[in-house]
Structure 1
């Protein structure tokens, strides 16, 4: 009897272990391994050409896969959920986001966390829907999160993820390139994590120079900030190289750092500074780069609990960094009350000097 019981105990232990081992082998074999530089396809709907002296607007918006509305929390931030509350809610969030973009009418939109086939957003192709809502814009898309199945949280797993960065433009573009960022988590964590990257889009400017528009989404949760340091060093080198060419540079997106010139203590909150949020390093980039942020409007909230004004910790981690040959005319955060995403969009108006 004892031998039979031990045999059953052995099977009870062995089967889950075998399933876990097979799963790890599978995700390792199919792991998304993008090239260090990847030329991206783009639609070419715009006829406008940039000229020196032009005034342009750019809006950056992490849309939180249209699933992180004000009623949501997120397990990676200390909450419980890993998916949008329902397909209906996801569609409502996405429609509201598209409506904002249509009304904003910026020349450039830099979007992050745009899903194209994820369990967490009910397989909705958000990139296609947003592109369709702005038919006169060039658009391009770069994957930065592609995993066949994320098995956590155990009782409500995130599941399949396919997500990325999306850039929309009302000006004619010459090229769009996905640059893979260095710094990876160790195996097997990396097999479930994002492959961080940025899109560098090039727009010819009459007179021979280019506007280089960078859409980025940097890491947030690596302990000790080792990965973030590697990413910033890589980006620093790229920015310096383009700056030396005399090109115009607009770098925007979700930096996942408290940005220079902003102070989270300015916002009402009952929560302490989250451990993952660090100040942006002062030594970044060549001399003369300019930050374009709105310190008066928070661009992100914490996700350990649903949003409640005056409770959640707030900060400014979304904004722009521009080259010295660009004049910053204005920067404004849009306080949407985190109704449809855990981020608020930020718009800058710039002149190419």
Structure 2
């Protein structure tokens, strides 16, 4: 009887090994491998030309695939969940996010974690939803997460993911380029991870120059922030090239660092500093560039537990870095109590000198 049980156990283990091997071969074969640069399509590019001296408002918002509302945690951050709680809740979150964008009324929006066709957001095309609900804006989308199946957590896996960055604009643009960021996790983790990138959008200015708008989302859970260091080095080189051209630069998004000029411990919390959060490195070099953040309003919460005011660790990781030829008029974090996303949006007002 014992020999028979051991034989069956052996067959079960062998079957599992074969299934896992076939799965790893499959995800490796179909792994999304974007080139270094991709020219992106822009829809509804009918905006006005940018004018030197006129205020330009930009809002950055990581919408958390409209699934990371107040009641959610996330397995990568120490929680247990990997999907939105329901299709209805996802639709409610997305509707509220749309209303927030409408009320903010910015010229430009930099959105991260916008799903196209993902199990975690019930296959709602959030890019189409937001683009259609904001018809006066042009829209440009770039993939940064495309995986046929993420098998964890085991009991309720994340499943298929197709997601990325969305830039919305009321200004006429000339091009939008997806730049692949360096630094990858090892095999097979990378096959189920994001392919980090940024969108560089170019807008002509009436003085003959260009505004280069960057929509970015850096890595988060890389040990010791080593991959983030590579990504920031790439950005520093990109900044240098554009500065030499005399371009205006506004770089915004989810930096996944505690940004300069902000003090996370300033916010009331019962939790310790999370392991994934790094201070922005002092070695980063961008001469004359200025940070535009709101240190008084947290832009992100921890996701190991649902949101509880005064309990979750809070920080400012969303904001803007702008070139010396841009005047910062104001920066405002929107305190939405993380009702529909694990992030709060941030709006900056700028003038091109």
TM-score bracket, shorter-length normalisation: over 0.9
**Shift in Å, 1:54:** 1.8
Instruction: Give runs of aligned pairs for residues 232-271 of structure 1, distance below 5 A.
Output: 232-271=232-271
Instruction: Say whether the 8 Å CA contact 1:44–1:172 is kept in structure 2.
Output: no
SS state at 1:331 partner: strand
**Displacement, 1:284?**
2.0
Give the aligned partner of residue 74 of structure 2: 74
- Tell me if the contact between 2:119 and 2:159 (Cα under 8 Å) persists in the aligned partners: yes
The Cα of 1:4 is off from its aligned counterpart by 3.9
1:34 and 2:34 matched: yes
C-alpha separation between the residues in 1 aligned to 2:2 and 2:111? 61
Residue 46 of structure 2 is matched in structure 1 by 46
Deviation at 1:286, TM superposition (A): 2.6
Q: 1:188-222: per-residue Cα shift (whole Å, max 9, x none)?
A: 00000000000000001112210000000000111
Shift of 1:9: 2.2
- Report what 2:63 is aligned to: 63
Residue ranges of structure 1 left out of the alignment (5+ in a row): none
| TM-score of the pair, normalised by structure 2 | 0.98
Give RMSD over aligned pairs: 0.9
Alpha-carbon deviation of 1:105?
Answer: 1.1
- The offset of 1:10, in angstroms, is 1.9
Aligned to 1:339: 339
**Aligned counterpart, 2:90:** 90
Indicate whether 1:294 and 2:288 are aligned.
Answer: no
When structure 1 is superposed on structure 2, of 2-11 and 260-269 the one drifting more is: 2-11
TM-score (norm 1): 0.98
Q: Does 1:330 align with 2:327?
A: no
Instruction: Verify the 8 A CA contact 1:240 1:285 in the aligned structure 2.
Output: no
User: 2:175 matched to 1:207?
Assistant: no
Superposition map of 1:1-353 within 5 A? 4-353=4-353
Q: SS of 1:50's equivalent?
A: coil
> Is this contact kept in 1: 2:50–2:205, CA < 8 A?
yes
Residues 3 and 313 (structure 1), Cα distance of their counterparts in 2 relative to 1, 3 Å cut: closer
CA distance in 1 between counterparts of 2:290 and 2:216 reads 17
SS in 2 for 1:206: coil
Contact 2:45 2:173 in 1 (8 A): no
Question: 8 Å contact 1:45–1:135 — kept in the other structure?
Answer: no
**1:225 shift after superposition:** 1.6
Q: Secondary structure at the match of 1:183?
A: coil
Q: CA deviation at 1:282?
A: 2.3
